[in-house]
Amino acid sequence: ETGVTQTPRHLVMGMTNKKSLKCEQHLGHNAMYWYKQSAKKPLELMFVYSLEERVENNSVPSRFSPECPNSSHLFLHLHTLQPEDSALYLCASSQAQGRGGNTIYFGEGSWLTVV
């Protein structure tokens, strides 16, 4: 138990579907992150929210849409995805974004398969 909870753990969706990934952190942190992890590739930072404001968007396609309603919750809305989007999506949180030494804590991840 890392204090960061992601649902669903596994998701299979068609290319025309709309689905959402949910993340909740119970650590009192004020920064939250979405990462993509593909097999044998480095973690890719997708989005960063600090104090509920998006501070980073690393050229992610618009078919991925994040939402951060408060400092404890983060969503990733998915629509018209492509098979190459199949990956492990990791949510993470930290005490403050933009500070050295602030450890990032990860959720268990959501395995996404696009068919």
Q: Does 109 bind another protein (CB under 8 A)?
A: yes
- CB under 8 Å to 13, separation ≥6 — which residues? 19, 78, 81, 112, 113, 114, 115
Q: Does 108 bind another protein (CB under 8 A)?
A: yes
> Shortest Cβ distance from residue 16 to another protein (Å)?
28
> Shortest Cβ distance from residue 107 to another protein (Å)?
6
Task: Determine which residue in the list 74, 76, 90, 112 makes contact with another protein, applying CB under 8 A.
Answer: 90
Instruction: List the one residue out of 68, 62, 78, 76 whose CA is nearest residue 19.
Output: 78
Lookup: tokens for 13 = 């969706």
> Shortest Cβ distance from residue 112 to another protein (Å)?
14
